[in-house]
């Protein structure tokens, strides 16, 4: 049981990097970016490529981030310049990445056990805690900068960004690049952690990310002081812990994906159905207030 | 100040549903005045604002602001010279950011956005003063997310954000139409104070004859893309406007 919790924690922290990336597109920019299904394995394949060529694990991981950002740039350009809808743009990038990933090393799966990894000399848990906290602090600081605020405003109200004299497309590009960079980094960490790279490792990863984000929002709903990055981390770790415990209790690991999808369906539909109800109560209050005002002089 | 020269604009061009809104439209707006543009639905008043702001491209013609031809400038470049308050209270603000963050963004307009922190303590006093001038108690809600404000509060905030850097021309696009009459009155009064204080040239589109007359120095009525009335506001009565308006509406119904 203890080792299961530690494994879940370690994997949860790796997925926290993924969830923080997807938070940028899904929560901040309000884009469902499916290219992450390709950039997650891309990070792993890029790591394998450079690690096997003798680059250090740190350099190889950073290169994974760089390649991921470039993939994000492709999606952004399809979307911003060629006016392809974001959902389709993501699917197209993901599809191109499938071929690209296979071509990168000429193989669909590669064992990495014999290579050095970031986890070779240090406990995975300690390293991942440090990596996740580091990325969280950097992202939080970035979102407090002038550019960071414009990124948030681009998702919130594009018209305002343009009225400030700025091209909102620039911020969509920055957001998608940053998000996919983080997703690829998460993929490279996962490859190093599990000791192999596989072409299927990105399949339905978007659902894992969304489930993490949604759990993170719900778990800490009562506190409005938690940043979205903290929520993503809490969500990803809880998701993995819940999954780990479920498997430990006898659930088949192959069922986990369906469970993730169901988690997403339940939480999103819960929010969709509960909010109009809450809104209708608020609205009634509003109407009563307006009614009590003096009749319209104009009419 | 603003010159609109030989402006042409149609929608659904080259289809059976082509609508020609402007066919050689001309207009000139003088500095430091508030010009109200009124007219029935579909007369072209919102289209005119969109063409001036660059939200819509012109088919033909020129838009000249302070002797500079801005016709080919993209919307975000024109925005550096313009301010705009929309009809919807959520269009002029970033709802998930706080009042302080929204004001800080507006204060950066026209400057380079970098990786420095946005919210700066040194601007705090200036922002509080602006909010106190509004007299809506917003100075106590600096850290409240704008989505929790009422429509009138949000619209007042949009107004001071749009006017903060003293634009060459302020466009008010029926900016009180979505508010209840009492709030609408408050926002119009705040608008007048702000315009007078900073001498901001304004083009105000309105559906409300009374407001249009009361708050402008010049009134222009459009119908089918043409100016059918252009007078100093002081020389027109509301009844006169209503009579023309009714006649135009009747014409439409008969047509």
Per-residue pLDDT tens digits of chain B, which is 255 residues long: 899 999 999 999 888 888 899 999 999 999 999 999 998 888 889 899 999 999 999 999 999 999 999 999 999 999 999 999 999 988 999 999 999 999 999 999 999 999 999 999 999 999 999 999 888 889 999 999 999 999 989 999 999 999 999 999 999 999 998 888 888 998 999 999 999 999 999 999 998 888 999 999 999 999 888 999 999 999 988 888 888 888 887 887 776
What residues pair up with B218 in beta bridges, in sequence order?
A: B35, B232
Which residue bears the tokens 């009492």? B182
pTM for this prediction: 0.88
- How many helices (DSSP H) and strands (DSSP E) are in chain B? 8, 10
- pLDDT grade for A282, boundaries at 50, 70 and 90: very low
Domains assigned to chain B: 2-91+168-254 (3.40.50.300)
Asked whether residue A277 is domain-assigned, the answer is no
Q: Which residue of A has its CA nearest to B165?
A: A164
Buried b (16+ CB within 10 A) or exposed e, B54-86: bbbebbebebebeeeebbebebbebbbbbbbbb
Q: Which residue of A has its CA nearest to B108?
A: A164
Residue of B100, B86, B89 whose CA lies nearest to B145: B100
User: What is the tens place of the pLDDT at every residue in B95-121?
Assistant: 999 999 999 999 999 999 999 999 999
Closest partner CB to A156 (pick from B94, B108, B208): B94
A204: which 2 tokens? 């339905």
Q: Does the pLDDT value for residue A288 go beyond 90?
A: no
Asked whether residue A161 is domain-assigned, the answer is yes
Asked whether residue A29 is domain-assigned, the answer is yes
Asked whether residue A248 is domain-assigned, the answer is no
pLDDT value, residue A90: 97
pLDDT value, residue A298: 35
Interface of B with A in 43-102 (CB under 8 A): 74-77, 79-80, 83-84, 86, 90-97, 101
Q: Does the pLDDT value for residue A221 go beyond 80?
A: no
Taking the C-alpha atoms of residue A12 and residue B38, their distance in angstroms, rounded to an integer, is 60
Q: Which residue of B has its CA nearest to A28?
A: B96
ipTM of the complex as predicted = 0.90
B53: which 2 tokens? 């702001």
Q: Which residues of chain A have a CB within 8 Å of the CB of B106?
A: 164
Q: Which residues of chain A have a CB within 8 Å of the CB of B75?
A: 162
Q: Does the pLDDT value for residue A249 go beyond 90?
A: no
Total number of domains in chain A: 1
Whether B118 and A146 lie within 8 Å, measured CB to CB: yes
Please give the DSSP secondary-structure letter assigned to residue A145: B
Please give the DSSP secondary-structure letter assigned to residue B98: B
Asked whether residue A175 is domain-assigned, the answer is yes
Distance from CA of B104 to the nearest CA of A (A): 9
Please give the DSSP secondary-structure letter assigned to residue B145: B
For strand B68-69 and strand B60-65, is the pairing parallel, antiparallel, or unpaired?
Answer: antiparallel
pLDDT value, residue B41: 83
Whether B208 and A153 lie within 8 Å, measured CB to CB: no
pLDDT value, residue B14: 86
pLDDT value, residue A175: 97
The residues, any chain, with a CB within 8 Å of residue B54's CB and separated by 6 or more, are: B70, B73, B74, B75, B77, B78, B79
Which of A145, A165, A228 is most worth mutating to test chain B (most B CB atoms within 10 A of its CB)? Answer: A165
Q: Which residues of chain A have a CB within 8 Å of the CB of B109?
A: 163-165
Asked whether residue A264 is domain-assigned, the answer is no
Whether A146 and B114 lie within 8 Å, measured CB to CB: yes
Q: Structural domain of residue A73, as residue ranges?
A: 2-206
Asked whether residue A146 is domain-assigned, the answer is yes
**3-state DSSP call for residue B71?**
coil
User: What is the tens place of the pLDDT at every residue in A13-38?
Assistant: 999 999 999 999 999 999 999 999 99
Asked whether residue A283 is domain-assigned, the answer is no
Contact between residue B162 and residue B92 where contact means Cβ atoms under 8 Å apart: yes
Interface of B with A in 175-204 (CB under 8 A): 180-182
């Amino acid at each position: 049981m203890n080792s299961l919790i530690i494994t879940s924690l370690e994997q949860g922290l790796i997925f926290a990097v993924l969830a923080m990336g997807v938070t940028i597109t899904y929560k901040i920019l309000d884009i469902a970016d499916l290219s992450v299904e390709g950039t997650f394995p891309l990070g792993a394949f890029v790591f394998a490529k450079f690690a096997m060529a003798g680059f250090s694990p740190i350099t190889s991981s950073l290169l994974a981030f760089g390649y991921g950002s470039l993939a994000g740039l492709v999606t952004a350009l399809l979307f911003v310049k060629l006016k392809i809808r974001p959902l389709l743009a993501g699917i197209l990038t993901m599809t191109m990445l499938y071929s690209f990933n296979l071509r990168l090393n000429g193989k669909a799966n590669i064992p990495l056990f014999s290579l050095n990894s970031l986890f070779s000399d240090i406990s995975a848990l300690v390293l991942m805690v440090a990596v996740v906290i580091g990325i969280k602090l950097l992202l939080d600081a970035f979102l407090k900068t002038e550019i960071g605020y414009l990124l948030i405003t681009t998702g919130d109200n594009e018209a305002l960004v343009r009225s400030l004299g700025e091209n909102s497309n620039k911020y969509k590009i920055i957001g998608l690049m940053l998000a996919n960079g983080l997703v690829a980094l998460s993929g490279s960490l996962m490859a190093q952690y599990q000791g192999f790279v596989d072409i299927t490792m990105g399949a339905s990863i978007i659902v894992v990310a969304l489930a993490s984000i949604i759990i993170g929002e719900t778990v800490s709903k009562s506190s409005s002081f938690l940043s979205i990055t903290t929520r993503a981390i809490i969500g990803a770790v809880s998701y993995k812990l819940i999954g780990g415990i479920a498997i430990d209790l006898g659930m088949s690991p192959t069922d986990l994906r369906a469970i993730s999808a169901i988690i997403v369906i339940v939480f999103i539909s819960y929010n969709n159905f509960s909010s109009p109800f809450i809104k209708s109560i608020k609205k009634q209050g509003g109407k009563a207030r307006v009614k009590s005002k003096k009749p319209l002089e104009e009419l | 100040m603003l010159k609109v020269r030989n402006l042409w604009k149609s929608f659904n061009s080259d289809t059976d549903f082509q609508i020609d809104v402007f066919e050689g439209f001309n207009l000139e707006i003088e500095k430091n005045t508030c010009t109200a543009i009124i007219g029935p639905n579909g007369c072209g008043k919102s289209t005119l604002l969109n063409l001036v702001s660059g939200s819509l491209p012109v088919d033909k013609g020129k838009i000249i602001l302070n002797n500079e031809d801005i016709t080919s400038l993209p919307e975000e470049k024109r925005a550096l010279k313009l301010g705009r308050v929309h009809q919807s209270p959520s269009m002029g603000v970033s709802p998930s950011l706080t009042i302080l963050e929204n004001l800080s963004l507006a204060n950066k307009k026209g400057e380079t956005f970098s990786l420095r922190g946005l919210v700066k303590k040194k601007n705090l006093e200036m922002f509080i003063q602006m909010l106190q001038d509004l007299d809506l108690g917003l100075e106590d809600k600096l850290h409240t997310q704008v989505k929790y404000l009422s429509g009138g509060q949000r619209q007042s905030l949009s107004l001071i954000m749009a006017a903060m850097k003293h634009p060459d021309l302020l466009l008010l696009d029926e900016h009180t139409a979505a508010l209840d009459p009492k709030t609408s009155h408050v926002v119009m009064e705040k608008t007048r104070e702000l315009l007078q204080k900073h001498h901001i040239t304004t083009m105000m589109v309105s559906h409300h004859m009374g407001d249009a007359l009361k708050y402008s120095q010049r009134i222009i009525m459009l119908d089918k893309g043409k100016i059918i009335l252009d007078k100093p506001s002081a020389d027109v009565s509301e009844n006169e406007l209503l009579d023309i308006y009714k006649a135009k509406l009747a014409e439409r119904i008969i047509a």
